[in-house]
Amino acid sequence: MAKFPTFPTSRPRRLRHTPALRAMVRETELNPRDFIYPLFVRHGQGIRREVPSMPGVFQLSVDQLAAEAEEVASLGIPAVILFGIPAQKDPVGLENFAPDGIVQQAVRTIKEAVPDMVVVTDVCLCEYTDHGHCGLLNVGDPRPHPHLPEGYVLNDPTLEIIGKVAVSHAEAGADIVAPSGMMDGMVQAIRRALDEAQYEHIPILSYAVKYASGFYGPFRDAAESPPKFGDRSSHQMDPANAAEALKEASIDIAEGADMLMVKPALPYLDVIRRVKDAFPEVPLAAYNVSGEYSMIKAAAANGWLDERRVVLEALTAIKRAGADLILTYHAKDAARWLASD
Ligand code: PBG
């Protein structure tokens, strides 16, 4: 038996009659409090360099960050996530855990300017290594690992480095660390390293469910981090898999993740929903990634889409799918539009 009577008793249009009625029955409400705004930081002075494939997104030097953070805060956005472009790259990515590294400087500057701003740091190797991979490589003669192929991203040796990176971000004043490298055991390694250094109060936002996605293309321009050879399929997830997302999420929770992330967002709304349903107690973030941003910006620049309308629709859809928090390059625009509604 049908749950609802049929027409003419049922007329769903009755509740869509006026804007006020529609607002009363709206199930999902987007709020700037949901947003985490990504920032790209580089060395130098007075730099505000637009990323060609991401109009409206800039690489900033540290001296630009106080004003930027104040603007973000004034829009009601509570958090930023930092990505650094180092002065020099090497096989290990030494600047990644240097006390005066670019991200460490950025964290200190933002926390000084806007102490209440929640500063999240991305913990990975790919922006810092000269080969552009997310871990140490199986290279050399003899190779560090005898049974794995040359150039393979080594898991366990990489864990030691990301533990150091997380501690150095915490020392600089980061509020949350977010490992994005999809190494097995990365959450456990970071939790142990933080606890040992008495940062047991610093939460971990794990990029637990991160796909090997073509949608990261523009980010790799922005962060100057494309892999010099090969791709990231030996550690990031296969886009065809969804059940596996629950395994990744479950393992990361067991290792100590305080929050989880699904990335990208729009092509993976089903995965966001499944992870939220499986772990409703754990705050879930979704990363509306660079390629998702660039597609809308490109179409809007051509007059093919109404930017404001589709951005708010896309972000609402991500929240409706089950995300509590959204990392998005649209955050400042969306916050302005929401305020003017
Ligand atoms: C890795 C990292 C990436 C993104 C965030 N963290 C790139 C990658 O895995 O290649 C992508 C974000 C985006 O596309 O907006 N440090």
Q: Residue 216 C-alpha to ligand 1 middle, in angstroms?
A: 6
Mutational test site, ligand 1, from 81, 219, 290, 295, max ligand atoms within 8 Å of CB: 219
Domain count of the fold of the chain:
1
Contacts of residue 69, defined as CB under 8 A and 6 or more positions apart, other chains included, come to 80, 110, 113, 114, 117
Q: What pLDDT is stored for residue 1 in this prediction?
A: 62
Residue 1, domain member (yes or no): no
Q: Residue 126 C-alpha to ligand 1 middle, in angstroms?
A: 9
CA-proximal residue: ligand 1, atom 11 (nearest): 216
Q: How far apart are CA 46 and CA 298, in angstroms?
A: 27
Residue 43, domain member (yes or no): yes
Catalytic residue among 263, 276, 297, 319: 263
Q: Work out which ligand 1 atom sits closest to the CA atom of 226.
A: 10
Residue 283, domain member (yes or no): yes
Q: For 301-320, what is the HEC assignment?
A: HCCCCCHHHHHHHHHHHHHH
Cβ(175) – ligand 1 distance below 6 Å: no
Residue 22, domain member (yes or no): no
228 is catalytic: no
Residue 8, domain member (yes or no): no
What DSSP assignment string belongs to 8-46? TT--GGGGGSSHHHHHHT------GGGEEEEEEEESSSS
DSSP tag of 329: T
Contacts of residue 196, defined as CB under 8 A and 6 or more positions apart, other chains included, come to none
Residue 113, domain member (yes or no): yes
DSSP tag of 1: -
Residue 14, domain member (yes or no): no
Q: Which residues of the chain have pLDDT under 50?
A: none
Q: What pLDDT is stored for residue 2 in this prediction?
A: 67
Sequence letter at residue 114: V
CA-proximal residue: ligand 1, atom 10 (nearest): 216
Residue 219, domain member (yes or no): yes
Distance of CA 188 to the CA centre of its chain: 19
Domain residues for the domain of 70 are 30-340
Q: Which CATH number is 142's domain given?
A: 3.20.20.70
Cβ(293) – ligand 1 distance below 6 Å: no
**Token pair for residue 298?**
């490109």
| pLDDT, tens digit, 9 for 90 and up, residues 149-178 | 999 999 999 999 999 999 999 999 999 999
